[in-house]
Amino acid sequence: MCGIAGILYKNSQGAEPVGQSLISMLDGCQHRGEDSTGFAMYRPEDNHLHLRFIVGDDGEAAIEHIKSILAEHGATLLSDERLGKSYRANVAFEGDIQDFTYALENAAKLISAGYALDIIKDEGTAKDVDDAYAVNGFAGTHGIGHVRLATESEVKPEAAHPFLATGFADVAIVHNGQITNYWKMRRRMERRGFKFRTDNDSELIAVYLADHLKNGHTLETALQEAIDTLDGTFSFLVSTKDEIGYAKDHLAAKPMVLVETDDLIAIASEEVSLNRLFPGTALTTTEPAPGTFKTWQRSI
Amino acid sequence: MATLDLSTLSITEANERIRTLGEQGTDIEIINPDARHHIGVGLTAPVNVKVKGSAGYFCAGLSDGASFEIEHNVGWAVGDNMYAGSVIVGGNAGAIPGVAIRGADIVVKGNMGSRAGQVMKAGNLICAGNSNFMAGYMMYGGRIVILGNSGEQVGQDMTAGEIFVAGDVQSLGADAMLTDLDSTDTDEIRALLDKYEISFKGALQKVVNAGTKLRYAKQEPRTRPQPFFVSSGRSDYWNAKVQEDIFIKAGTGRYRIRGYGASKPMAHFNDIAFRKDLSHAGNDADALTRVNLETKIGGRYGAKPLSLSMPVQIAPMSFGALSKKSKIALATASRMSGISENTGEGGMLEEARQEADQLVFQCLSGRLGWNIKDMQRADGLEIYISQGAKPGLGGQLMAKKITPELAEKRGIPEGIDLRSPSRHPDVLGADDLVIKLEEFREATGHKIPVSIKMGAGRVKDDIKIAYKDGFDYVALDGLQGSTGAASTEVLENVGIPTVGALIEAKLGLAEIEAGDDMQLVIMGGIKDGIDAAKAIALGADAVAMGTAAIIAGGCIACMQCHVGTCPVGIATQDPEHTDRYDNAQEALNIHRFLEGVRWQMAAITDALGYDDIHKLSPDDLVALTPEAAAITGLEYVPGHVDLQNSALKKA
């Protein structure tokens, strides 16, 4: 149970206030859940793989383990940083992302991996996470975010959204709802060699979409497949290094509303979140119809 | 005309000002609304409110008589449960516009979202654009007009009322059909559209109820009553109860409906005892003067709590399931004993409000009898999610009990076997529930507690949601809870026993390190003060009693409440039977029973050496059966003997 938000600056070169915009939008629907908050934010792609792990307050051993795995896989550590409960490592790496990220999971919970992407998530509200991680200073091109009220699982940073598509770079999702055929789908994907790092059904959406992208499908096609294949109630947002998109289940049980201008597209659970971007303005918004999907791409 | 700027006012401040200005007869303009939720909720003055911009959820909800104009969009549930007045939306509306309205005109000049007009009972919902799916879902009356396309499954499970569509009827819902317009329909609709300056010249199609699901074709046969006391006793696999059940199914060919609760052995407070010798507990009449039983329920966020003279409430039982006279008797008894009564899900009886000092008003998924004026004179509000006898099901009320008075109060047609939806139109998850809860607080000025009534199922998960969503207290109903009518399959088999429910609730709250600010009221088969004391020792803040109270008030427990011909005059609306019921005398009987409960609680507390019942704890209890020990974690007495390592072997 949660609120979601997403924004894409259509013509951005990477200097837009993505962090602050997401904070404002999520604060607008924080009443939907105060257990945890998360952000997946993008800046223009570079040649470095940006990794972020949850190592907790006492993470020295985990960090040493991470560094040894980096060395084993021929990754060069370029810079790193402890921030809150997380550890960020920028590396030069040219091998197989899936094997590499699966190996890294043995050291610590990998929550972000990408050439453009940084996922920051933790317990608490949007303001709490901003205070700990300085999210408001993130300048970039687009991003998605999430506020969460835990219903059946624990409150802990790794259970927060957004979810990285484990085994892939630059793909993240945020999700409102439940996937009722999660376990069946998960078993099928595990038989194909995928690994899942949480019991959260949202992680499956991310991996499912990323797998489609890897096989050459467009994001739009992947979203269409998801609507047909996944069972349950959901409104979710997905982001890649240059796109965001949504998919909505056939019953429209979870709210979603969007506003589009020449400069940006913003999507959220509630219009009050969109209005945080445009205070004092009456917005022309659209509520996506049940069973629909759409994507927006940044002009490059 | 007064102007309120929402960029400088909180929504609570704004609504207080709106109400004050409304009482003065001042029209109101709202600027910088920025799609905020709950604008104008609970306004009962006939003034004009103009919102310059967009509003969020529940705009104009629970209002009565005001005229609202929102220049741009609205979110979910615009005009929720309005009785009179109007709302004009210049742009689009989100899901369930016009939900549960009892009158009023709701006009959406753009498009509207799914399930429009869900459980509406009167009034007009007009959409100049297109509708999303399931328009008219479970509507009980009123009129919907869609000038664009209808969306899929229009009229799904509608009971009565009319839906007019000028565009395409994309598909019909269950129990809905197309029919010819009446001779006056077109003129009436044109006049209505003219009133709101909507031009329309085309043709209309009309959707109404098809009548396939409104009545149970065969009623249960009248059988020789088998009292609950007999039926719930221990017995073998084939017994009188099983024979009766098969006989009834052979006659009806469908699931069976009956009253009362689960009628079979299960873990109960009888399987728990107090650790100390209580053989002198009954000998000291002064226990009442030495023991404090006073209990406040609610007030987590500053609302005025219910003030109970002992930790007991009357459990929710509706006017409808019960007769008016028996509801009055319960209300009178609650006042005499200094505790609270609950309306149950059918609305607030005027006489019960007069008789009860403290009355909790319950909101059902079908919003039967729900209205702003009674909310504002209730002492507490309760959102009914489910009850112990039928978790996951909405209410059922058989046609025989639906008198003209009852139909008018609940806003439903006469002559049908009424079913409520199994879920609230505006609560599809915990995140929706928090917004709904805030609507109720805004409508009542944050002055009275709001609770949630849950049947016991996945208690450990559900209680966490209730805590995080911000309820003042939870009313938790175990499997032994009773009902006026439910399918026996669910009544007998769905849910968990009260003792287990209570333990799970305490465990769930402990897991999230919740404080004790949200209280827990437990119910379901609590039959006396001894059960109540055990429940409080296990961590309940109070208990609620229903079945025991109505037995005290004359119920013979024949389990045929659904038939509607209760010979005592309790579970019936039939004048011949209700005339037999002497509510003044039965109020006295119920009151005396409640005083017996009080005395039992005080005597046990005193005998255990405490001066306050809330000092009882699990340390005062032991389990008498292995099952009770496993469920509660209490020590099992006589316990286990490890024969191989005991002194007995040595000998």
* % pLDDT > 90, chain A: 83
Question: What residues of chain A lie within 8 A of the CB of B469, using their CB?
Answer: 149
Task: Supply the pLDDT for residue B283.
Answer: 66
pLDDT-wise least confident of A142-156, A256-270, B83-97, B194-208? A142-156
Given a cut of 70, is residue B142 above it in pLDDT? yes
Contact A285 B54 (CB under 8 A): yes
Given a cut of 90, is residue B501 above it in pLDDT? yes
Contact B305, B296 (CB under 8 A): yes
Query: A256: nearest CA in chain B?
Result: B94
Residue B593 near chain A (CB below 8 Å): no
Rounded to 10 degrees, the C-alpha dihedral B59/B64/B69/B75 comes to 20
Task: Supply the pLDDT for residue B175.
Answer: 94
What does the DSSP assignment read for B253-281? SS--EE-S---S----GGGEEESS--TTG
Contact A282 B53 (CB under 8 A): yes
Tell me the C-alpha distance between B370 and B83, whole Å: 10
Contact A283 B434 (CB under 8 A): no
Contact B326, B298 (CB under 8 A): no
In chain A the beta strands, taken as DSSP E runs, fall at: 2-9, 36-42, 49-54, 76-83, 86-92, 109-114, 117-123, 142-148, 163-164, 172-179, 232-239, 243-248, 257-260, 264-268, 285-286, 293-297
SS3 A173: strand
Has A29 been annotated as catalytic?
Answer: no
Q: Which of B32, B72, B132 sits opposite A252 (nearest CB)?
A: B132
Question: What residues of chain A lie within 8 A of the CB of B92, using their CB?
Answer: 285, 287
Per-residue tokens: B382: 């309760």
Q: Which amino acid is at B452?
A: I
Question: What residues of chain A lie within 8 A of the CB of B430, using their CB?
Answer: 1, 33, 149, 151
Given a cut of 90, is residue B420 above it in pLDDT? no
Contact B367, B62 (CB under 8 A): no
Tell me the C-alpha distance between A33 and B160, whole Å: 38
A172-179 β-sheet, strand order: A163-164, A172-179, A232-239, A243-248, A293-297
Question: What residues of chain B lie within 8 A of the CB of A272, using their CB?
Answer: 34-37, 56, 75
SS3 B418: strand
Question: What residues of chain B lie within 8 A of the CB of A287, using their CB?
Answer: 92, 94, 113, 132
Q: Which of A150, A233, A272 sits opposite B37 (nearest CB)?
A: A272
B409 vs A17 pLDDT, higher one: A17
Contact B136, B96 (CB under 8 A): no
Contact B35 A271 (CB under 8 A): yes
Task: Supply the pLDDT for residue B116.
Answer: 97
Task: Supply the pLDDT for residue B265.
Answer: 81
Query: What value of ipTM does the predicted structure carry?
Result: 0.86
Tell me the C-alpha distance between B125 and B199, whole Å: 16
Task: Supply the pLDDT for residue B68.
Answer: 98
Q: Which of B92, B114, B431 sits opposite A252 (nearest CB)?
A: B114
Task: Supply the pLDDT for residue B280.
Answer: 66
Determine the average pLDDT of the residues in B371-384: 96
Given a cut of 60, is residue B235 above it in pLDDT? no
Range with top average pLDDT, A159-168, A171-180, B51-60: B51-60
Given a cut of 90, is residue B376 above it in pLDDT? yes
Contact A280 B94 (CB under 8 A): no
Under the banding of pLDDT at 50, 70 and 90, the label for residue B236 is low
How many Å lie between the alpha carbon of B353 and the closest alpha carbon of chain A?
34
Task: Supply the pLDDT for residue B651.
Answer: 61
Query: A28: nearest CA in chain B?
Result: B36
What is Dmax (Cα atoms) for chain B? Answer: 103
Tell me the C-alpha distance between B579 and B167, whole Å: 53
Contact B37 A255 (CB under 8 A): no
Under the banding of pLDDT at 50, 70 and 90, the label for residue A1 is low
Q: What's the residue count for chain A?
A: 300
User: Hey, which residues 242-281 in chain A have their CB within 8 Å of chain B?
Assistant: 252-255, 257, 269-272, 274-276, 279-281
Contact B7 A280 (CB under 8 A): yes
Q: What is the DSSP letter of B346?
A: G
The predicted-structure confidence for A71-122, as pLDDT tens digits, reads as follows 999 999 999 999 989 999 999 999 999 999 999 999 999 999 999 999 999 9
Contact A275 B95 (CB under 8 A): no
Nearest partner of B568 among B582, B584, B548, judged by Cα: B582
Residue B523 near chain A (CB below 8 Å): no
Tell me the C-alpha distance between B444 and B441, whole Å: 5
Tell me the C-alpha distance between A263 and A255, whole Å: 24
Given a cut of 60, is residue B364 above it in pLDDT? yes
* % pLDDT > 70, chain B: 97
Determine the average pLDDT of the residues in B446-456: 96
A217 vs B253 pLDDT, higher one: A217
Under the banding of pLDDT at 50, 70 and 90, the label for residue A30 is very high
B550 vs B249 pLDDT, higher one: B550
pLDDT-wise least confident of A81-95, A102-116, B345-359, B410-424? B410-424
CB contacts < 8 A (A, B): 105
Q: Which amino acid is at A219?
A: L
User: Hey, which residues 68-127 in chain B have their CB within 8 Å of chain A?
Assistant: 71-73, 75-76, 91-92, 94-95, 113-114
For A246-269, letters b (16+ CB in 10 Å) and e give: bbbbebbbbbbbbbbeeebbbbbb
Task: Supply the pLDDT for residue B500.
Answer: 95
Question: What residues of chain B lie within 8 A of the CB of A255, using their CB?
Answer: 75-76, 94-95
Under the banding of pLDDT at 50, 70 and 90, the label for residue B249 is confident
Contact A252 B91 (CB under 8 A): no
Q: Which of B34, B428, B465 sits opposite A275 (nearest CB)?
A: B34
Given a cut of 80, is residue B219 above it in pLDDT? no
Residue B514 near chain A (CB below 8 Å): no
Given a cut of 60, is residue B418 above it in pLDDT? yes
pLDDT-wise least confident of A35-49, A200-214, B123-137? A200-214
Q: Which of A2, A206, A238, A247 is catalytic?
A: A2
